[in-house]
Amino acid sequence: MLKTETQHMNRRNLDQSMATLVSYVATFASIQEGTQTSCAR
């Protein structure tokens, strides 16, 4: 019972971490794109 509960918690934390990482990478990529665009002008 307790072990399953812990695994479920870890799973949810992992999903949250992945979502945060994905959004961070997307933000960083858009910033990079914007920087390159402004430099090209």
Alpha-carbon span 2 to 11, nearest angstrom:
14
In the chain, count H helices and then E strands: 1, 0
CA distance to 6, 7, 10, 15, 37, per residue, from 3 (Å)? 5, 6, 11, 18, 51
Average pLDDT over residues 31-39: 81
pLDDT of residue 4: 84
The share of the chain scoring above pLDDT 90, in percent, equals 49
Q: Give the model confidence (pLDDT) of 1-16 as tens digits.
A: 578 888 888 899 999 9
Alpha-carbon span 22 to 32, nearest angstrom:
15
Look-up: residue for tokens 């934390």? 13
Q: Give the model confidence (pLDDT) of 19-33 as tens digits.
A: 999 999 999 999 988
Whole-model pTM: value is 0.59
pLDDT of residue 33: 86
